[in-house]
């Protein structure tokens, strides 16, 4: 199922499908720049420290890149 919404609440990012069902949750981190950076129908980007982690619609990590 595709990602329809992603929202950060405190130190957690909640990801929902088009039926508004929660499909996964990931830590948003605790640093001043940490947290949800964006999402598409197939991925979610979350910064933790100096890294941005990409997750697919199943909550599996698919990539990491430097936040620079």
Burial grade of 52 (CB within 10 A; 0-12, 13-18, 19 or more): middle
Alpha-carbon distances, residue 67 vs 4, 18, 51 (angstroms): 24, 29, 5
**Where residue 31 sits, what CATH number does that domain have?**
2.40.10
Number of domains in the chain: 1
Q: Give percent of the chain with pLDDT exceeding 90.
A: 97
Q: How confident is the model at residue 46 (pLDDT cuts 50, 70, 90)?
A: very high
Domain that holds residue 20: 3-66
């Amino acid at each position: 199922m595709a990602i329809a919404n992603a929202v950060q609440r405190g130190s957690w990012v909640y990801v929902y499908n088009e039926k508004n069902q929660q499909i996964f949750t990931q830590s948003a981190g605790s640093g001043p720049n940490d947290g949800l950076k964006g999402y598409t129908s197939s991925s979610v980007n979350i910064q933790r420290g100096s890294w941005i982690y990409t997750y697919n619609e199943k909550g599996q990590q698919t990539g990491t890149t430097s936040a620079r």
